[in-house]
Structure 1
Amino acid sequence: MALNRRGAFKLATTLALLSSKPTAAGTGQGAGTRAAVDTQAGALEFELGMPTARTVDSLYQALDHQSAVMSYLWAIPIVGMESARQMLVDNAGARSGDFVRVSGYRDVSAMLGSNVTTPYVFAFFDLSRQPLVLHYPPGATAGSLIDWWDRPLCDVGITGPDAGRGAVFVLLGPGQQAPGELPAGAQLLRSRTFKVLLFCRGLDADLAQVETVFSALRVHPPGQQPAAASTRLLRFKPEGELTSMAHPQGLAYWQRLANALRGEPVEDRDRFFAALLAPLGIKFDRPFAPDARQQAVLEKAAIVGEATAKAIAFRKRIPGMRYRPDTHWEYLIAPGFDNAQDVPGGTLFEERTAFFYEVTGTSAAVLTRTPGVGAAYLAAYYDAKAAPFDGARSYRLRVPADVPARLFWSATLYDTQTRGLVQNAQQIVDRSSRQDLAKNADGSVDIVLGPTPAPGLEKNWIPTTPGHSWYVYFRLFGPLAAYFDRSWVLPDIQAL
């Protein structure tokens, strides 16, 4: 009923706005009783004030298209989470409770917005049958436990409440009660969804030490001893095509959404979208089986939805996105973004669309305002003339000396179409202060971004591919005060 009322309201609004200048249909009955109006939905015809059968079909078609496009944007966070799960299933054979180490160019190329500077571990947990106990080991790691709408439950590692000393978490799904006996010092985490994702990165430069820490992860049902848990640490398959974490296109997007929603509760904030999706063949509690008309609507809406997401992400109209007025660098995450995605007075709709179209997974640490803690991200999508970065041209990024990062900094390139790592034969996608880079006399570093290296700067080169546009993230791990007060300047990327 809610959808029908909305459709009636939209129809009434259209008539109120447009009926002041009707075009007579030429029947002799007068413009007030039979008229045709040209609109974005086509020519709307009325007889005695009532829409004709053809007009009704046209309006419902337009309404379903509009509903599907808005639902596409609304679903971007949860489709991204389900895509992360599918990546782990397809590439590593992972099940609920398995941990998957992701590192190196090939593995990370399947991810959204990630970098090869640090190795990752992912896992998904299905709480639909029972709560789970997670033993998170001590060590130099940082990450987050997040629900299926990409809302953090708790940071883990050095940015978490344990500050890298290790912790025990009891994960509870919607409506679940805490077990009678809890492990000593365990923290209860209540998820609003039955599926939860863990992602964390190893920050130790010694990869052997990172492997040791990750191997100590354990998950088990309440009442079982950690030593008895049959926890697996998996890797991606070494050969064959890898499934990407990117949002799928066309009808596959909606299939992925239906998979993500199945078995999850309908939250109050999502009831309106549940009503919009029902006439399109997508329901929280039923298999995805759209008819031919619904499929056609969904396929077209996916094209418009993805294009709109690109516009929102790469040409943001969100206030306050520019890091400094004298350069084109932007914050990746909108200032004032709340990981809950809801604030008094509304939902951060475009803010979350932009963020989660580019990346999957967030944490409290990426919203840090404490110098020396967490990570900060700046992004550049266009050159100084507002043109897309061209993989056939060469550019220079001059990184000043004394970057305000307590740990290290890195610059990573991403393909505009995939939002994954740029693909090149050299398998080089980033440069960082952890590497032996050539420096200028003043301590600055020139990073060359282009199809060929500049003489003498081969160690500073990130190869690009003609025919592909790209964008760049500049990461500061442990950002310091000069970043937060914006007294530090990162110059624009210049064409050579």
Structure 2
Amino acid sequence: METFIRFTGRTFLTLTLTLAVGYSVAVHAQPVDTHIGPVTMEGELPAHESIAKLYAELDYQQATQSYLWALPLVSYAQWQEEFQNKLGARSGDLMVLTSYEDKLGVITANATTPYILGFVDLNETGPLVIELPPGPTAGGVGDFWQRAIIDMGETGPDKGKGGKYLVLPPGAQPPGDADKYYVAHSETMNILVGFRVLDPDPAKGKALVERFNMYSYAERANPGKTKLLSPGGKQWSGTQPRGMAYWERLHQIIQKEPVNERDRFYMAMLASLGIEKNKAFKPSAEQRKALEEGAQMGELIAKANTFAKRFPGAQFWPDRQWDTVLNIAEPSQRVAFYDQLWERSAWFYEAVTNTKGMVSKTPGLGQTYLGAYTDSKGKWLDGSQNYRLHVGPNPPAKQFWSMTVYDIDTRCLIDNPQRKADLSSRQNLKKNADGSVDLYFGPKVPEGFENNWVQTVPGKHWFSYFRLYAPTQAYFDKSWKLDDITPAN
């Protein structure tokens, strides 16, 4: 019998006993310390009893990353499901959201203007014709990864003059009369069609909406009329579901959609977790544990990635707490050498939709968004505290500006007894002598500033968007600056 002892730079040794009959017996080395605890080793290899532990960690990591990757897809799938099952909207119907109650289900909705939107399943319709009437509108068509397919209205090719659009499903070729339309190609079978009416006159806005129509290209000779619906006071929520419901919604929408080339590795991760196209979702106990834990950690990371952004340049002014909330370089989510996974995850955790108008760099067109998640001292905004925001004279907005308060948990309009979430230049606000405005946020109304106040909810945190509609040059060159939200007595 021979004995060989090998020392390494670490504080463990491996002892191999070579027996006369030619067999070797490996003695366990010192365990490797990891963030999941010690991993027992056999020489350079994990011991067999460690394999299950390592695979459990792999599945947990896959679930966490898949959660973050799927946020935009699950968001739209959830929204579509709620429209269908709670509000009775079918593919091709338009939901008109005008009241405060209507919009409580929309993630970071604009409380100032109405939304008109609907989901269309191109599996059912084939190529889709959209007739947009002339008038002041902003909107577009997006696929289910929330990539803009084409803008409509003032930032679209019709430039507010209206026109006919044709949306083609994946792989479809343009028809012979494509020159009659603004043609757009979708990479998903399900799409969102939506727009906002920018005319402040409700009667004119209503008339414009009623002239909108969309229908299958195959029915163009005798099209029907788009059905307009309203939530009618029914509660609904477009917020991504939590826990296993998140994965159930993801599995459901994957069955309806083609797989993009860029997503095939993520589809491999999902297959390891029991989520596959053309297969039933029946996760094992081990897979279910990984999915539940991955969804929990994924959302925690999503919150950090959203409300404490670390993207270069996310902070709009270096001496202010305001962030540029939409950091996607262009609606395709693609830059030179990668797709913007983390920027995408942040935006679609806290918001929905993306159009070219939302990232326009042309003064006087589109809109822009600044987000505040903390006060001037860097502390989370607390619903039990009082705050003030000073808006200096001449905000750089050709149309109007608005300040909207959202619930941090749902990312929807704050659900307060006041039934009000926004303050805007379209409202009758009390102004200072120089034209500036002081806005107030807190659980109790500040005396003398009732019109300038949004009620917050004790026990809940909140965040806010400051929107500029048709931002002017002073926004882009940063010569106008917005104060931080400051604690107030």
Counterpart of 1:156 in structure 2: which amino acid? M
Contact 1:79 1:256 in 2 (8 A): yes
Matched, 1:92 2:81: no
Q: What is residue 456 of structure 2 aligned with on the other side?
A: 464
Structure 1 residues 470, 211: CA separation in 2 closer, same or farther (over 3 Å shift)?
same
Matched, 1:272 2:265: yes
Matched, 1:479 2:471: yes
Q: 1:447 aligns with which of 424, 433, 439?
A: 439
Question: Distance between the aligned counterparts of 2:471 and 2:410, measured in 1?
Answer: 28
Unaligned 5+ segments in structure 1 are 1-18
| Secondary structure at 1:297 match in 2 | helix
Alignment of 1:52-131 (within 5 A): 52-129=47-124, 130-131=126-127
Q: 1:367 aligns with which of 348, 359, 375?
A: 359
Q: What is residue 328 of structure 1 aligned with on the other side?
A: 321
Question: Distance between the aligned counterparts of 1:33 and 1:456, measured in 2?
Answer: 76
User: Whose Rg is larger?
Assistant: 2
Structure 1 residues 30, 84: CA separation in 2 closer, same or farther (over 3 Å shift)?
same
Alignment of 1:92-491 (within 5 A): 92-129=87-124, 130-182=126-178, 185-225=180-220, 228-239=223-234, 242-334=235-327, 337-491=329-483
Contact 1:181 1:223 in 2 (8 A): no
Structure 1 residues 195, 22: CA separation in 2 closer, same or farther (over 3 Å shift)?
farther
Q: Deviations over 1:439-465 (max 9, x none)?
A: 111111111101111111001010001
Question: Distance between the aligned counterparts of 1:281 and 1:20, measured in 2?
Answer: 42
Question: Distance between the aligned counterparts of 2:107 and 2:152, measured in 1?
Answer: 20
Question: Distance between the aligned counterparts of 2:101 and 2:218, measured in 1?
Answer: 39
Contact 2:32 2:38 in 1 (8 A): yes
Contact 2:60 2:291 in 1 (8 A): yes
Question: Distance between the aligned counterparts of 1:158 and 1:394, measured in 2?
Answer: 38
Question: Distance between the aligned counterparts of 1:373 and 1:275, measured in 2?
Answer: 42
Normalising by the residue count of structure 1, what TM-score does the alignment of the two structures yield?
Answer: 0.92
- How far is 1:92 from its partner? 2.2
Question: Distance between the aligned counterparts of 2:12 and 2:103, measured in 1?
Answer: 59
Q: Deviations over 1:53-93 (max 9, x none)?
A: 22110110000100110111111111111122123213421
| Secondary structure at 2:332 match in 1 | coil
Question: Distance between the aligned counterparts of 1:225 and 1:200, measured in 2?
Answer: 22
Q: What is residue 8 of structure 1 aligned with on the other side?
A: none
- How far is 1:26 from its partner? 8.8
Counterpart of 2:334 in structure 1: which amino acid? D
- How far is 1:385 from its partner? 1.4
Structure 1 residues 396, 180: CA separation in 2 closer, same or farther (over 3 Å shift)?
same
| Secondary structure at 1:390 match in 2 | coil
Q: What is residue 42 of structure 1 aligned with on the other side?
A: 37
- How far is 1:30 from its partner? 10
| Secondary structure at 1:343 match in 2 | coil
| Secondary structure at 1:64 match in 2 | helix
Percent of aligned pairs with the same amino acid? 40
- How far is 1:48 from its partner? 4.5
Contact 1:133 1:169 in 2 (8 A): yes
- How far is 1:181 from its partner? 4.2
| Secondary structure at 1:215 match in 2 | helix
Q: Deviations over 1:271-305 (max 9, x none)?
A: 11011110101112323221222111101110000
| Secondary structure at 1:347 match in 2 | coil
The count of aligned residue pairs is: 474
Question: Distance between the aligned counterparts of 1:157 and 1:357, measured in 2?
Answer: 26
Matched, 1:21 2:16: no
| Secondary structure at 1:300 match in 2 | helix
Structure 1 residues 27, 470: CA separation in 2 closer, same or farther (over 3 Å shift)?
farther
Counterpart of 1:207 in structure 2: which amino acid? P
Structure 1 residues 30, 225: CA separation in 2 closer, same or farther (over 3 Å shift)?
closer
Question: Distance between the aligned counterparts of 1:415 and 1:171, measured in 2?
Answer: 35
- How far is 1:34 from its partner? 3.6
Contact 1:23 1:37 in 2 (8 A): no
Question: Distance between the aligned counterparts of 2:155 and 2:258, measured in 1?
Answer: 30
- How far is 1:238 from its partner? 2.2
Contact 2:440 2:453 in 1 (8 A): yes
- How far is 1:326 from its partner? 2.1
- How far is 1:101 from its partner? 0.4
Question: Distance between the aligned counterparts of 1:288 and 1:165, measured in 2?
Answer: 47
Question: Distance between the aligned counterparts of 2:48 and 2:272, measured in 1?
Answer: 19
Question: Distance between the aligned counterparts of 1:410 and 1:400, measured in 2?
Answer: 13
Q: Deviations over 1:383-437 (max 9, x none)?
A: 1111111111111011111111000000000111111111111101000000111
Judge which range, 36-45 or 304-313, deviates more: 36-45
- How far is 1:25 from its partner? 8.4
